[in-house]
Structure 1
């Protein structure tokens, strides 16, 4: 082999090695060495498990905390006593930049959990390619995003304080967030839709946008009261069960003052500085999956009351009232926990928020 050939061969081998290394660094497999952000205790929260990735693209991580505001949440199967799972989905380029990002808080429904696979799918699809952090905190199967008035043996159940006074500043301290009203949104599905508007009405200084996907918004509605009290006494909503008056007090007149005072549909005046978006179907074909059809049909009634009160207050809002879902998204049937419908809701809401954040 000539000297010239050996030299060319060595150069070629070096080039191939360099290209191979570059390819390895840019491939998804190279992300195996990346670690999610390390989180520090603070704001009343103790980190009980540090973040671990739950997706192959290393955008979504799961961690858990304990809090004295809800030290003993009621538990669904697989949940750990005293620990609250929180799921965070980062922008695609979070690890490669020093930018700060707006944040949306996504509140799950009943009887759901933040680490449910379908919630992760919806968030990751809606936020792919977006400069947006999404945080999904635990709301328990029956937390109802409220500070309970009569928790009894369950101990303190101050879900509102936990989320607004602890989780939000904790996230801002540990991640690169745009920690301003304009850079923060809150949204939720079903029970979480109630929670999103409930929180935004109580703390409009925190949120630039609020959205409800099929939320139960009218606590003066007797059907919704019956549905909520059913979640409190049903083991399917978590164990141990609690009394029907645990969250909002007795659900009957004249002892129902807390129900009336906490009804998002009737206290929209404080949302004047918040962008509001409502999404609901009508249940579609009532003979197909009738339970989910009825749930959505009745949730829509509470959205209509909310919309009427927003108009009466001259507060602008967006309302996607998409009926049987056929014109809203492929596969959407207008039912209550239809993933295709919720995906379309989230896609639209993320677009609204990120255009203004």
Structure 2
């Protein structure tokens, strides 16, 4: 299902990546919490702690040899990976629930007030566990080609081969494809679609919220390269070719191979939902307007490939946001738009995933 608005618009450079809100301080609550055990290559660095003001969301901190150090944002410690987990009301450690993995954007991290509020609002009264892992400010949800001085940056291996079985071992989950979904915003939208294509055995539904889905798009390549060079996405910065290798033909094979828009066949049989605005009024907040139009272009490219493959999907093209949610004006990284995306997506999950 798709509604396309093909208005002309210049491509953004680094505007397609999301910035998060302020970090939430450490928790201090007396309520009993699940206790986690090491496993699947992850070591528990800090046991779960409730996020202040919440009785459903906690953090657990892990370390992994797949990403032993990384470029950090304020409040992060290199090598420590904070994972945000939101439990359903009445979680008792016995009843098994489906799990929704949701991936944050570039220049962002799991432990922010915005992530907490969006997830808790969208899952109120739903029988669903939500997990937001650390993806690094510029991790790009992939195993890096030339990580350089940072050392190994195997974000994909960390999440797919380690984190998922670790969560299944420590929480009461429906540990099967029918009980698992993935979504993401901006850089996280890239990660969600890429992960779903790489491991269709793991996920029954995938959603992208203003996702960076087409690495063949030159504006998108510029956005990725821009993220390597700015401390807004973590310090220290990294070489331009660290993540996907050189971006120029004929050396750009990894960029082409890891572009999810063109490799949709593994998604056949999976639920698919693409969300994007068109940027709205370009004279208002032009950077985020142009950024959203760029990611909208990548959603259109993905939809075209899904159409060509005959794979069903939903394309929620909400244009300038006027009919999508109050306060949404179709810009990139807008809280109102993202809340509406997540609210709609979780409703789709409840129609499809196995749950109590």
Using the size of structure 2 for normalisation, the TM-score is 0.90
Which whole-Å deviations, capped at 9, do the CAs of 1:254-285 have from their partners, x for residues lacking one? Answer: 10000000000000011002111000001111
Partner of 1:16: none
- The counterpart of 1:164, out of the listed 149, 160, 164, is 160
- The counterpart of 1:93, out of the listed 90, 93, 96, is 90
Tell me if structure 2 keeps the 8 A contact 1:204–1:273. Answer: no
Partner of 2:254: 258
Which whole-Å deviations, capped at 9, do the CAs of 1:299-323 have from their partners, x for residues lacking one? Answer: 0000000001001101000110000
CA distance in structure 1 between the aligned counterparts of 2:348 and 2:235, rounded to whole angstroms:
38
Does residue 312 of structure 1 match 2:308?
A: yes
Offset at 1:354? 1.4
1:207-246 equivalences under 5 Å are 207-246=203-242
Offset at 1:98? 2.3
Runs of 4+ in structure 1 deviating by more than 3 angstroms, as ranges, are: none
Partner of 2:38: 41
CA distance in structure 1 between the aligned counterparts of 2:181 and 2:105, rounded to whole angstroms:
17
CA distance in structure 1 between the aligned counterparts of 2:153 and 2:216, rounded to whole angstroms:
22
1:81-160 equivalences under 5 Å are 81-95=78-92, 98-160=94-156
Partner of 2:322: 326
Tell me if structure 2 keeps the 8 A contact 1:187–1:196. Answer: yes
CA distance in structure 1 between the aligned counterparts of 2:340 and 2:189, rounded to whole angstroms:
15
CA distance in structure 1 between the aligned counterparts of 2:193 and 2:226, rounded to whole angstroms:
22
SS in 1 for 2:247: coil
Number of aligned residue pairs: 326
Q: Which runs of 5+ in 2 are unaligned?
A: 1-27
Tell me if structure 1 keeps the 8 A contact 2:35–2:47. Answer: yes
Partner of 2:4: none
SS in 2 for 1:346: helix
1:19-98 equivalences under 5 Å are 33-95=30-92, 98=94
Offset at 1:156? 0.2
Partner of 1:203: 199
SS in 2 for 1:182: helix
SS in 2 for 1:185: strand
Greater Rg over alpha carbons, structure? 1
SS in 1 for 2:304: helix
Offset at 1:55? 4.1
SS in 1 for 2:324: coil
CA distance in structure 2 between the aligned counterparts of 1:282 and 1:129, rounded to whole angstroms:
32
Tell me if structure 1 keeps the 8 A contact 2:29–2:50. Answer: no
CA distance in structure 1 between the aligned counterparts of 2:42 and 2:117, rounded to whole angstroms:
27
Using the size of structure 1 for normalisation, the TM-score is 0.90
CA distance in structure 2 between the aligned counterparts of 1:290 and 1:119, rounded to whole angstroms:
24
CA distance in structure 2 between the aligned counterparts of 1:66 and 1:33, rounded to whole angstroms:
25
CA distance in structure 2 between the aligned counterparts of 1:230 and 1:164, rounded to whole angstroms:
26
Tell me if structure 1 keeps the 8 A contact 2:105–2:184. Answer: yes
Q: Which runs of 5+ in 1 are unaligned?
A: 1-30
Structure of higher RCO (CA pairs closer than 8 Å, 6+ residues apart): 2
